[in-house]
């Protein structure tokens, strides 16, 4: 299809790979600078540079929405971030409970096989006041998804689903999302450097897990009227749960395996084309996105 002009902007600018390039340039620019300067995550400048890198997907996502989409598409973008009514009540339960089921299940499997299971994180065991300790952890667990999902699910996922099935789009985005984290493993004081390590078992489980989780995110996204806030909350619950429980290396393998089982079940039950159970809903989702964003007046 020939590039379609919206205002003075060509839809070709909306190519998701251009978005990925801009996102990586912003994020890796700050993070590689942190590494080259020898700054750690424990220094004020290091923290600032790391935070600025985290804004890459969100800044690029908002910018591309305004470059590519017209007024209805831009308004829809902000509605998907702020309007929780897009999410049916039962999908709220899925978002909140699924991560809380998968990690304990991995720990139970580890116990059944004679392992040491999971332990509570230091912020829990070392807290004098658990209520006060939970607030900064919850804040960071939510802030990072807000910065990321504005771009990953807020912009890139729709663009990928225009040309690929939901499953393939999810896997592509998952690989890109996984690689985006790479410099984190070389910043001293950062969780990925200190607690996961480079080329460890946990390192590979982390990257594989992100790819699997990308399918879960698309499943939730497509079934909640393309809700970005739903993706943010899901990401926040996953982060908070991971920051609360510390799994052994073997339990982490079980953890990622369980997520794989989840996406296999999702694909078998909901279908890889749209990851939506009812074809009518899936078609409606595609049509809504294309009408709003490409303004061609009909589904194609």
Q: What does the H/E/C string look like for 87-143?
A: CCHHHHHHHHHHHHHHHHHHHHHHHHCCCCCEEECHHHHCCCCHHHHHHHHHHHHHH
The more confident residue out of 178 and 287 is 178
Strand pairing report for 9-10 and 5-6: antiparallel
Q: What is the pLDDT of residues 180-212, one digit of tens each?
A: 999 999 998 888 888 788 988 889 989 999 999
Does pLDDT of 121 surpass 70? no
Compute the average pLDDT of residues 274-291: 58
Compute the average pLDDT of residues 164-187: 96
Q: What is the pLDDT of residues 211-256, one digit of tens each?
A: 999 999 999 999 999 999 999 999 999 988 887 777 777 888 888 9
pLDDT reported for residue 26 = 97
The more confident residue out of 134 and 229 is 229
pTM of the model: 0.86
Query: Is the Cβ–Cβ distance between 173 and 184 less than 8 Å?
Result: no
Q: Any idea what DSSP says for residue 7? A: T
Residue-level length of the chain: 300
| Cα(235)–Cα(238) distance, integer angstroms | 5
pLDDT reported for residue 286 = 52
pLDDT bracket for residue 300 (50, 70, 90): very low
Does pLDDT of 1 surpass 70? no
pLDDT reported for residue 110 = 82
Half-sphere exposure of 177 (CA within 13 A, CB side): 27
Does pLDDT of 281 surpass 80? no
Gyration radius from the chain CA atoms: 20
CA distances from 4 to 12, 165, 286 (A): 8, 22, 18
pLDDT bracket for residue 41 (50, 70, 90): confident
The more confident residue out of 113 and 122 is 113
Compute the average pLDDT of residues 44-65: 95
| Cα(2)–Cα(140) distance, integer angstroms | 43
pLDDT bracket for residue 2 (50, 70, 90): very low
């Amino acid at each position: 299809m020939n590039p379609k002009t919206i205002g003075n902007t060509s839809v070709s600018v909306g190519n998701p790979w251009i978005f990925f390039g801009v996102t990586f340039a912003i994020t890796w620019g700050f993070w590689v600078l942190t590494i080259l300067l020898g700054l750690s995550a424990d220094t004020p400048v290091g923290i600032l540079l790391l935070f600025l890198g985290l804004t890459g997907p969100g800044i690029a996502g908002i910018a591309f929405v305004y470059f590519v989409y017209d007024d209805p598409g831009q308004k829809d973008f902000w509605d998907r971030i702020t309007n929780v009514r897009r999410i049916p009540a039962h999908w709220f339960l899925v978002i909140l409970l699924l991560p809380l089921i998968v990690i304990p299940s991995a720990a139970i499997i580890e116990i059944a096989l004679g392992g040491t299971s999971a332990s509570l994180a230091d912020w829990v065991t070392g807290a004098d006041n658990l209520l006060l300790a939970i607030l900064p952890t919850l804040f960071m667990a939510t802030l990072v998804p807000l910065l990321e999902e504005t771009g990953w699910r807020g912009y890139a996922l729709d663009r990928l689903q225009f040309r690929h099935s939901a499953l393939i789009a999810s896997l592509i985005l998952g690989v890109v999302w996984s690689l985006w984290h790479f410099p984190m493993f070389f910043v001293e004081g950062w969780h990925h450097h200190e607690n996961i390590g480079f080329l460890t078992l946990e390192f590979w489980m982390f990257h594989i897990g992100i790819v699997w989780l990308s399918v879960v995110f698309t499943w939730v996204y497509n079934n909640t009227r393309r809700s970005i806030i739903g993706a943010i909350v899901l990401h926040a619950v996953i982060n908070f749960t991971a920051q609360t429980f510390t799994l052994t290396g073997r339990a982490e393998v079980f953890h990622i395996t369980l997520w794989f089982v989840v996406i296999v079940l999702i694909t078998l039950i909901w279908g890889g084309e749209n990851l939506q159970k009812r074809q009518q809903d899936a078609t409606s989702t595609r049509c809504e996105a294309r009408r709003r964003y490409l303004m061609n007046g009909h589904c194609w």
